[in-house]
Amino acid sequence: MGCFTFVKLMMVVFNLLIFLGGLTLLAMGIWVSVDGGSFLRILGPFSQQGMQFVNVGFFCIAIGAVLVLMGLLGCCGAHKESKCLLLMFFSIVLIIFIAEVAAGVVALAYSSFAEGILRAWATPALQKDYGSDPVVTKIWNTTMTELKCCGFTNYTDFVGSKFEKENGGSLPPICCWTNSTPCSPKEAQRSAVKGCFKDILQTLTEHANIVGGIAAGIGVLEIAAMIVAMYLFCHLDNRIS
């Protein structure tokens, strides 16, 4: 088996996998979007919170459609030895690669504003929604219990909040070392329970590193796909001649 034939075969197999993956993602996205009720029933007790995930179906449809198109172009281009299809495949992968690089640059640029972004979301949520919004309350209770922290900065995030007013000046029990009610602001000040910001930021950073590693791996595959496509494109003239 010659080098050209081997590369061509690998190109077909690789893009066949992309095509099948795209079909799977497309089918799942259509199912979630069209029959969201069945999807949410699978989630059981989390169905109310899971309602927002139905919107992800449209995103899956878009990504799946792109993958199906890429797979078709790659497979047909390599199998039929079509320079036009190979060039289209190369162009699509290049556009996706450039978009990913641009998104990475933007993400790095905004990472320095992480504290401000988190604070802009967390402080109003603690002041207005904690204790009244079940989702916000559950998220923060779980976060504070798991990380053994109080509020975003510290207990002062709850001072003057809707929760404090509705509970006679009492703060969440986790804000006091005694971990019991009532937890007054003075007791919380003496307890000096740390805020959650540093731990949340560390968790986000760890997950960002994982996402970055996956993105880097995908980028390497995309570069390899472009190299293979261009190799076949350039050597087709030699095959014809």
Query: Which pLDDT tens digit goes with each residue over 28-67?
Result: 778 766 665 544 444 444 444 444 445 566 777 888 888 8
Residue type present at position 217: G
Does 166 have pLDDT greater than 70?
Answer: yes
Does 154 have pLDDT greater than 50?
Answer: yes
Dist CA 103 CA 109 (whole Å) = 10
Half-sphere exposure in the Cβ direction for 124 (13 Å, CA)? 5
Mean pLDDT across 121-147: 87
Give pLDDT, residue 215: 76
Residue 171, strand partner residues: 183
Give pLDDT, residue 150: 92
Give pLDDT, residue 158: 92
Mean pLDDT across 140-146: 89
List the alpha helices (DSSP H) in 35-127.
Answer: 36-43, 47-50, 56-79, 83-111, 114-124
Give pLDDT, residue 61: 80
Give pLDDT, residue 3: 78
81 DSSP 8-state letter: T
How many percent of the chain have pLDDT more than 70? 81
Dist CA 137 CA 125 (whole Å) = 9
Task: Say what the pTM is.
Answer: 0.59
Give pLDDT, residue 112: 63
Give pLDDT, residue 46: 40
Identify the top-confidence range among 13-17, 48-52, 214-218.
13-17
Mean pLDDT across 127-139: 87
CA dihedral 36, 39, 44, 45 (to 10 degrees): -40
Does 192 have pLDDT greater than 80?
Answer: yes
Q: Chain-wide mean pLDDT for the chain?
A: 79
Does 138 have pLDDT greater than 80?
Answer: yes
Higher pLDDT, 94 or 57: 94
Dist CA 77 CA 15 (whole Å) = 10
Residue 165: count of CB within 10 angstroms of its CB: 10
Give pLDDT, residue 39: 45
CA dist 77 → 7, 58, 71, 149, 232 (Å): 12, 28, 10, 57, 9
Give pLDDT, residue 114: 65
Dist CA 74 CA 13 (whole Å) = 9
Q: Please, which residues have CB within 8 angstroms of residue 128's CB and are 6 or more apart in sequence?
A: 161, 162
Mean pLDDT across 195-206: 82
3-state DSSP percent of the chain in helix, strand and coil, to 5: 80, 0, 15
Does 77 have pLDDT greater than 60?
Answer: yes
Phi, psi of 183 (to 5 degrees): -115, 95
Dist CA 205 CA 217 (whole Å) = 18
Q: Are 86 and 229 in contact (CB under 8 A)?
A: yes
Mean pLDDT across 78-104: 85
